[in-house]
Amino acid sequence: NAGVTQTPKFQVLKTGQSMTLQCAQDMNHNSMYWYRQDPGMGLRLIYYSASEGTTDKGEVPNGYNVSRLNKREFSLRLESAAPSQTSVYFCASERASGKLANEQFFGPGTRLTVL
């Protein structure tokens, strides 16, 4: 099992360009998440999908859109990249969201630089 995979690993964009970050999991998990990590700020939730067919905003959704393509795949799109979106992006999956103390499994991350 590959767990959670993300592509690309690195990306450099110019201000105003668009791109889509891809995420896939092979653990048959229901819930998937997109986080960004900036120095000294821990992980902040951008969007999440509690189950196939649903998506909701997290703490910092502005400038992003998501698509839960199927149970395995959850993509994050930047329509018009800005330097403030320079960050490391992590995708995570979880068996089911809610009260259960479920573990979230993280992908390897995408390092994005916006010039």
Partner 1 sequence: QKEVEQNSGPLSVPEGAIASLNCTYSDRGSQSFFWYRQYSGKSPELIMFIYSNGDKEDGRFTAQLNKASQYVSLLIRDSQPSDSATYLCAVKSEGGGTSYGKLTFGQGTILTVHP
Sole window of 16-24, 63-71, 73-81, 103-111 interacting with partner 1 (rule: CB under 8 A)? 103-111
- Residue 90 found at the interface with partner 1 (CB under 8 A): yes
C-beta of 16 vs 108, nearer to partner 1: 108
- Residue 14 found at the interface with partner 1 (CB under 8 A): no
| Least distance CB 80 / partner 1 (angstroms) | 25
Q: In angstroms, what is the C-alpha Rg of the chain?
A: 13
Contacts 24+ apart (CB under 8 A), 4-8: 4/91, 4/92, 4/93, 4/105, 4/106, 4/107, 4/108, 5/107, 5/108, 6/89, 6/90, 6/91, 6/107, 6/108, 6/109, 6/110, 7/110, 8/110
- Residue 106 found at the interface with partner 1 (CB under 8 A): yes
Q: Using CB under 8 A, list all residues that contact partner 1.
A: 33, 35, 40-45, 48, 50, 56-58, 90, 97-101, 103-104, 106-109
